[in-house]
Structure 1
Amino acid sequence: MPSTIPTEGLKDPETAELFFKEDPEKLFTDLREVGHGSFGAVYSARDVHTSEVVAIKKLSYTGMRSTKKWQDIIKEVRFLQILKHPNIIEYKGCYLSEHTAWLVMEYCIGSVSDLLIVHKKPLQEMEIAAITHGALQGLAYLHSHAMIHRDIKAANILLTEQGQVKLADFGLASMVSPASSFVGTPYWMAPEVILAKDEEQQYGTEVDIWSLGITCIELAEMKPPLRSNSSVSVFSCIIRSESPTLQSTEW
């Protein structure tokens, strides 16, 4: 049975204002899938009016947990709407079509994780420094507005064709700091976030800095620390172990 959530949800004027009324099928052409995840798929596309190439993340809100999916879409759109910074992905609007939200953003050639996969070797120190500098600029902006990304990793740091660093994927972000939700990707999660699961401990923007540090190790060694551990056991290892360091003596 089709979900009626948008019909009900859009009765609220503030929610309705989050979405453009046009049919995205008529606004964008040449859709080509460039990425896929648990959230759905990302496409490159061309704006029929300006010929600009954009990225479109399609998010379905049907099926199981449809209410939660719809709420997550609204949260992400609200978040993206207020972000304006050179090192954060530029949001261009959101449309609804056949129980799917189309989040339109600036197009990037790929993620830093893609670099590792394509080149099949660690990045150089200068490359890591440049990526980290751009990511820190974006995080400084978020943190100055009491926002926490909560999912910093190489896969969520994008690069434009000109080499500019862009933070992306704000599906798990918090618009307030401190926060207390247990969210993130296991190997990159800070101890404070893991402790929030059972102890309801609060944490602040510093958890993004931890994740960025883990990302630096990921770029230098092709994988984050503890990657050989299961995602379940890694939580106790992060809490009980010393802060991770580079394994290679070459650094």
Structure 2
Amino acid sequence: MKQIHSRQSLTSANITKRETLKYYVPSNGICSINISHYELQVEIGRGFDNLTSVHLARHTPTGTLVTIKVTNLENCNEECLKVLQKAMILSHFFWHPNITTYWTVFSVDTSQLLRAYFPEGMGKTLIRNILFGAVRGLNYLHQYGCIHRSSKASHILISDDGLVTLSGLSHLHSLVKHGQSHRAVYDFLQFSTSVQPWLSPELLRQELHGYNVKSDIYSVGITTCELASTQVPFQDMKRTQMLASKYIFSQILWPF
């Protein structure tokens, strides 16, 4: 499988805001940059403050199923562009079957967007296998001292042969600073309200104790509820109520 160099991804991301950025994660290494070679089939998720949509698509010359992320840059500011660049660059620092790699990046005018149709979704019987693959990906990141900080169902992708990969690396943070590994980090981003239900209490509290890789395990628990019931716990709560509820539940389950 041929890997696209991160510098190409970085260059491709530096485009005007009137264009639409597309980056592909093919299941067998297809790296075509001809938009006519791809046919969108179903939208499987949205993110990045609703600027990005994730689609199941087909590479028409070979019939291979691929995953496509489409980000409309019309409303992206410079900070958004930096986040996109970071996600694409970071994906090339890791090589693991359960971590998503961006294989190619290119831009097209918005008038060239592909038409999508919506078949039936995925059954719940796959939940155990999905979580197994996602946890393997997280374990790989944790072994390298990295915290994902954005684990949720919309960041879990499945290839046509059943391989589960974890995406959403834009919020990834390392426990290693200046060659030294730390037990906790104190980097508290202003996370979008849309992702807060998946975040651990210690990450939301932004306290002096900081947080570590265990915050990802909490997110896996929320994702499990999401996959099993199609409902995300705490999603309809205000931030203060959500934080209080998460803290109370964490004290009941893990009092020490």
Corresponding residue number in structure 1 for 2:172: 173
Evaluate the alpha carbon distance shift between residue 60 and residue 222 of structure 1 in structure 2; reply closer, same or farther with a 3 A threshold: closer
The list of structure 1 runs, each at least 4 consecutive aligned residues, that deviate by more than 6 angstroms after superposition, is: none
What letter is aligned with 2:93?
I
What's the % identity of the aligned pairs? Answer: 23
Q: Which 5+ residue runs of structure 2 have no aligned equivalent?
A: 1-5, 14-30, 114-118, 177-184
Query: Is the counterpart of residue 91 in structure 1 residue 98 in structure 2?
Result: no
Matches within 5 A, 1:190-209: 190-196=200-206, 199=207, 202-209=210-217
Question: Following TM superposition, by how much is the alpha carbon of 1:142 offset from its aligned partner in structure 2, in angstroms?
Answer: 0.8
Corresponding residue number in structure 1 for 2:197: 187
From 67, 79, 103, give the equivalent of 1:55: 67
Work out which structure has the larger RCO, using CA pairs closer than 8 Å and 6 or more positions apart in sequence: 2
Corresponding residue number in structure 1 for 2:139: 140
What letter is aligned with 2:173?
S
CA contact (8 A) 2:65 2:159 kept: no
Query: Is the counterpart of residue 81 in structure 1 residue 80 in structure 2?
Result: no
CA contact (8 A) 1:214 1:225 kept: yes
TM-score (norm 2): 0.65
CA contact (8 A) 2:9 2:105 kept: no
Question: Following TM superposition, by how much is the alpha carbon of 1:15 offset from its aligned partner in structure 2, in angstroms?
Answer: 5.6
Residues in 2 aligned to 1:93 and 1:241: alpha-carbon distance in whole angstroms: 42
Q: Which 5+ residue runs of structure 1 have no aligned equivalent?
A: 1-13, 103-109, 246-251
SS of the counterpart of 2:170?
coil
Question: Following TM superposition, by how much is the alpha carbon of 1:34 offset from its aligned partner in structure 2, in angstroms?
Answer: 2.2
Evaluate the alpha carbon distance shift between residue 40 and residue 221 of structure 1 in structure 2; reply closer, same or farther with a 3 A threshold: closer
SS of the counterpart of 1:180?
coil
SS of the counterpart of 2:146?
coil
TM-score (norm 1): 0.66
Evaluate the alpha carbon distance shift between residue 27 and residue 85 of structure 1 in structure 2; reply closer, same or farther with a 3 A threshold: farther
From 197, 200, 213, give the equivalent of 2:221: 213
Residues in 2 aligned to 1:154 and 1:139: alpha-carbon distance in whole angstroms: 13
From 38, 41, 51, give the equivalent of 2:53: 41
